[in-house]
Structure 1
Amino acid sequence: MSSSYTKDVIIVGGGLGGCAAALAACEKGLTVRMIEETNWLGGQVTAQGVPPDEHPWIEQFGSTKRYREYRWKVRQFYLNRMPIMEGNNNSFNPGNALVSSICHDPRVTVHVLRDWLIPYIITNQLTIHYCTSVRSVRRKGDAIESITIIPSGQTYTAPYFIDASETGELLPLADIDYVTGAESQAQTSEPHALEIPDPLDIQAFTYVLAMEYREEENHVIDKPAMYDFWRSFQPDIWPDKLLSFHAPHPVTKEKRTYALFKQDNSFPLWEYRRMFNNRLYNTPMKALDITLMNWPQNDYFLGNIFDVSEREKKKHLYQAKQLSLSLLYWLQTEAPTPKGSKGYPGLKLRPDVFETDDGLAKSPYIRESRRIKAQYTITEMDVSPDVQEGRIGKQYRDTVGIGSYSIDLHPSMTGRTYLDVEALPYHLPLGALLPKEVNNLLAGCKNIGTTHITNGCYRLHPTEWNIGEVCGELVAFCIQHGKMPKEVRNDSTLLHSFQRVLREAGVELEWPVDKMESQGG
């Protein structure tokens, strides 16, 4: 028999947005229930294996105070608990990687987030259900009343719900209007939108794996079942076989050459998302570099995994895993080397990094979610340097945060190639977090009111954290004042009061243009 237990807010999804929402809500004294599909907190930075992608000012400004504290906690873990070589300082980059100034082992973030939340767990203010998903949602009118979870079958009620899941899982279950794929120019007026909308034009997802290199050893995996397929596969949008050291340049679309390790005129994949650089540490046992495989060659774009049948979903998850394992096998056995030989048999899969049997991340890296039909939808014109004057994007009266990243769209399920165009440092409007038709649900991840195009810059780690944190703060504000989220947005006095609360919590609402110019970013 199922039971109903009431909390102030139920958060579906334990990724960065979900954890930020939980921290904000708990610090304001709310009781929180979190539903997480895996046994790890952290989402894209942990279970999906993608180190933080961030803007060039992230060490000084351009995020919330809590996000900076998260980064500080990750860095301090290494500085305080790992034997760091002399000469490293507070800008320590654990993996000395190209993608981020804090590229690190996903297990460290799992530890940091758990350690941060444990005081609230001990006092039962926060309850986390791991390896759990939502089976059904009960909605009445413009409010969600309860959710039922599996495998326990229990039903939980709350006055507020935050959908911080990776793919907007609550939206179809609650029969809330949402968008998938690409809008048309007629719908959004965006210069880079399609002529005809295509709900299947969804960005590729990726199964990340971790590996090290033992040059004199042989660690070749068993030949993947789909290796022959992937070895011969050449997409129409690709300049060579997918399993090769060539791919389209994201901006120019010209043939770009990659290399596993650093070579002249080639992009070094090994350094790209390296999470452990052995030269930085003086460990008792000499550990080797570890890198994460999240590259153009293992982006999977043959089919989507949400809003499809369970059979279709399993097929594409399997094939995406086979792609990543096939890329590893190709690197081990057939990849050309600078010495003229074939293969790097010393590449060793590291299943311990993700604590999985197959060595792959616990979940696929999801770039594009279902997106709410929001009170306000962010369009390309809001962030375009061709439309907005000055150095920053559109400034909203209901701004609740800031972020920065280019419009970075990976190949899509319909065969479209990259779209990578400049975007100005942007602001986050509260209206993008609020669905049009439901009053007590907030979007807390990549499911906010962006378009297919602006999702390309609003989907990164600091912005997801900002989104989730605002959701947690907003629920606390609404409960305290007896108001609904839409009332807060629409009433200028309430909105200014809420924005003051955000500033006090360390949420940056405006870009410091003078500082940006002085740093040359």
Structure 2
Amino acid sequence: MIATPPRNPDKTVNCEILVVGGGLSGVATAYEGLLAGRTVCLTEITDWLGGQISAQGTSALDERPTQRALKFYSRGYLELRDRIQRKYGKLNPGNCWVSDSCFLPRDAHTILTQMLKDAENKGKGKLQWFGNTVIKELDISSDGKIINSAIAIQHQPAKGALPLNTYPLSQTIEDAYTYGNSSRFTKTIIRFVPKANQQTSPNWYVVDASETGEIIGLADVPYRLGIDARSYLEPSASSSENDPFCPQGFTYTFAMEATKEAQPQTMPAYYPQYAPYFSYELQRLANFDLVFTYRRIWSPTKGQPTKFGGINFTASSPGDISMQNWTWGNDYRPGTAADNLIYTRQQLESTGQLQPGGWMGGLRTETLRKGEENALSYYYWLVAGTTDSQLGNGVKQPYPNHRLLTGLDSPMGTVSGLSKYPYMREGRRIIGRPSWGQASGFGIWEIDISRRDYNDEYYRKTLPADMYKQLRAALAGLEATSVISGQISPDKAMRRTRSTIFPDSIGIGHYAIDFHPCMTQSPPETPGNTERAGERRGAGQAYPFQIALRAMIPQKIDNLIVGGKSIGTSHIAAAAYRVHSFEWSAGAAAGTVAAFALKNAVAPYQLVDELPKPEPQLEALKRLLEQNGNPTAFPDTSIFNQNWEDWR
């Protein structure tokens, strides 16, 4: 059922692929769809393409050394890296030390815009780009299987109003999801529908590439949020029960510039509220220059080589620009039902957002506002603070020779200097359709990727005996059958030393399981607050891993494909499946799957519904991905290859 808007849609737009979310996964989806000659509609709540590397400001590519050295990435991601290098004459114009590539967020939008134009020309596809646009409603068929159309709201500054990005997101998000014009915005109501001449069934595809799993929330398909209950699949979980209120923290990034002279620094009125939270975190990181250069995104003059805490970097110089993204800094980490950012299904229902016309984005506006205040307070702490919540007094000194970069022409493109949208590490994650071995719904779990041995006292004592046996059997690889039958003791079985190999893998990723845990008390900035106990237990190194097609197919709806961070992963697995190259690979898969499904008149779920039996059309899809330069497996992936020590 769809509500009647206050007026008829201002225009109707035909699509073959509707991509919701202009982050890296959404751009990659559009890129492959355009190269396949399809008509792609791409919506984004901000006016920049790129998500993590632009509107969210985290323009420092998270990569692993081996994959980076071999340049074993999707073709579009490789092109992005090449274009960054051509733009600056080098891949790392910031000379940061966290990554091989740190650059200016506003340039990422320009680069990606040109990439999509070139893909459109090359593939003879058609791109219809809708910035400043949100999906308000979905028209779903009476049997619940097909999204027939979508209603969107696009906003532009009202006559005489201030430009876009004058106000932070918390002050505009509710307006953006409201049909009526306002003093700030003039609205255009858009109805997205399939192309009239498309004869396949389904006749179009909607791809949720949003940052929070917005469409899966609006469509009300089964999903998880936050912590998963401890099980043999997720043995390091911090809770014996699901806890949807504790996803990873989110971050409003900002850019600051080193100056020759001390700058006037104005303390925000709310600074005393947030100051008790801030810290360098660890003694080996307690150095301002180290933190500043960590994600330095622009460095016109190469500083002198220096070292602190065993880390080599070049000292900062006047004119250097740093992007800040720090756990005990501008991370905001709510973890209770009173302040969680991403509403659970129950909260969506109680606030009326699942009623026709009631959708408002599924986020708690007050928590967005507090995240913004926390970030601006962190800047003041960096330049003027003298406290440290984790390391005590005497560690932090003022560094006033810096300024916050604000304004529409600043690296973040906002008057406040904050990123246009917070960097989201985790959102809603679908529960895939029942599959062999996972009767309650497919997912990718901790033990599918983690390098952890699990043969230690904690797991023996914490997990019930049957659960521990299941864990050891699941990790036994070629000896699994012998463990299950009792021929080999669980303790004697050799642990496989690779990630799970999925027969329906259509993409790849590699990163450590990296946590920014929620805080125990509400609000997060409460003096003396601690991270949720046990949340970091699952953190650690991961094997190179795969993206299963089953993790991208939601229950109930046949023409919805899920990309980005909302694929079917667990809370712990999601901590690795969230970085830049993964997002691109998942998007490349989504775009290819949608185009393949339209061409071959086959729904994505039909490609995997007979597994583990052979699926000829699935194999054809995988060959297409590989031929197009989108890897579906790492080199030498095999159940017999146990040597992954070189993949770091």
- Distance in 1 (CA, whole Å) between partners of 2:292 and 2:133 is 35
Tell me by how many angstroms 1:468 deviates.
0.6
Q: Which amino acid aligns with 1:244?
A: S
Q: Which amino acid aligns with 2:215?
A: L
Aligned to 1:293: 324
- Distance in 2 (CA, whole Å) between partners of 1:369 and 1:517 is 30
Give yes or no for contact 2:259–2:318 (8 Å, CA) kept in 1: no
199, 218, 226: which one pairs with 2:270? 226
- Distance in 2 (CA, whole Å) between partners of 1:26 and 1:204 is 34
407, 425, 432: which one pairs with 1:367? 425
User: Aligned pair in 2 of structure 1 residues 518, 457: CA closer, same or farther (>3 Å)?
Assistant: closer
Tell me by how many angstroms 1:342 deviates.
4.3
- Distance in 2 (CA, whole Å) between partners of 1:293 and 1:277 is 15
Is 2:79 aligned against 1:69? yes
Is 2:323 aligned against 1:272? no
Structure 1 SS opposite 2:424:
coil
45, 51, 63: which one pairs with 2:53? 45
Spell out the pairing of 1:310-325 with structure 2 (5 A cutoff).
313-325=364-376
252, 255, 259: which one pairs with 1:207? 252
Give yes or no for contact 2:140–2:146 (8 Å, CA) kept in 1: yes
User: Aligned pair in 2 of structure 1 residues 519, 176: CA closer, same or farther (>3 Å)?
Assistant: closer
Spell out the pairing of 1:75-474 with structure 2 (5 A cutoff).
75-79=85-89, 92-119=91-118, 125-140=126-141, 141-150=144-153, 151-158=187-194, 159-186=204-231, 188-220=233-265, 222-231=266-275, 233=276, 242-245=277-280, 247=281, 257-261=285-289, 268-280=290-302, 288-296=319-327, 297-302=329-334, 303-307=339-343, 313-335=364-386, 342-351=397-406, 352-375=410-433, 376-385=442-451, 386=453, 387=475, 391-412=497-518, 414=520, 415-416=531-532, 419=536, 420-474=539-593
Aligned to 1:497: 620
- Alpha-carbon deviations, 1:229-261, whole Å to 9, x = none? 112x3xxxxxxxx2233x2x6xxxxx6642111
Tell me by how many angstroms 1:513 deviates.
5.0
- Alpha-carbon deviations, 1:360-396, whole Å to 9, x = none? 1111111111111113200111112333655531111
Percent identity of the aligned residues?
31
Q: Which amino acid aligns with 2:110?
A: H
- Distance in 2 (CA, whole Å) between partners of 1:184 and 1:157 is 39
Structure 2 SS opposite 1:507:
coil
- Distance in 2 (CA, whole Å) between partners of 1:468 and 1:341 is 42
Tell me by how many angstroms 1:142 deviates.
1.0
Tell me by how many angstroms 1:423 deviates.
1.6
Root-mean-square deviation (CA, aligned residues, Å) is: 2.7
User: Aligned pair in 2 of structure 1 residues 175, 225: CA closer, same or farther (>3 Å)?
Assistant: same
Give yes or no for contact 1:203–1:413 (8 Å, CA) kept in 2: no
- Distance in 2 (CA, whole Å) between partners of 1:341 and 1:208 is 21
The structure with the larger Rg is: 2
Tell me by how many angstroms 1:189 deviates.
4.6
Give yes or no for contact 1:445–1:464 (8 Å, CA) kept in 2: yes
- Distance in 2 (CA, whole Å) between partners of 1:378 and 1:9 is 26
Structure 2 SS opposite 1:128:
strand
Aligned to 1:237: none
- Distance in 2 (CA, whole Å) between partners of 1:164 and 1:42 is 11
TM-score (norm. length: structure 1):
0.87
- Distance in 1 (CA, whole Å) between partners of 2:74 and 2:217 is 31
- Distance in 2 (CA, whole Å) between partners of 1:24 and 1:501 is 12
Q: Which amino acid aligns with 2:26?
A: G
Aligned to 1:238: none
Tell me by how many angstroms 1:217 deviates.
2.8
Tell me by how many angstroms 1:111 deviates.
1.2
Tell me by how many angstroms 1:59 deviates.
3.7
User: Aligned pair in 2 of structure 1 residues 186, 395: CA closer, same or farther (>3 Å)?
Assistant: closer
- Distance in 2 (CA, whole Å) between partners of 1:178 and 1:520 is 32
Moved more, 136-145 or 326-335: 326-335
- Distance in 1 (CA, whole Å) between partners of 2:226 and 2:241 is 11
Give yes or no for contact 2:250–2:422 (8 Å, CA) kept in 1: yes
Give yes or no for contact 1:62–1:402 (8 Å, CA) kept in 2: no
TM-score (norm. length: structure 2):
0.70
- Distance in 2 (CA, whole Å) between partners of 1:207 and 1:23 is 27
Structure 2 SS opposite 1:453:
helix
Q: Which amino acid aligns with 1:506?
A: G
- Alpha-carbon deviations, 1:170-229, whole Å to 9, x = none? 112212121111110249453335211111111110110000111423141x32121011
Q: Which amino acid aligns with 1:148?
A: I
Q: Which amino acid aligns with 1:147?
A: A
Give yes or no for contact 1:62–1:403 (8 Å, CA) kept in 2: no
**Unmatched segments (≥5 aa) in structure 2:** 1-7, 154-186, 195-203, 304-316, 352-359, 389-393, 434-441, 454-474, 478-494, 521-530
User: Aligned pair in 2 of structure 1 residues 170, 96: CA closer, same or farther (>3 Å)?
Assistant: same
6, 11, 16: which one pairs with 1:8? 16
Give yes or no for contact 2:56–2:422 (8 Å, CA) kept in 1: yes
User: Aligned pair in 2 of structure 1 residues 120, 257: CA closer, same or farther (>3 Å)?
Assistant: closer
Q: Which amino acid aligns with 2:22?
A: G
Moved more, 119-128 or 147-156: 119-128
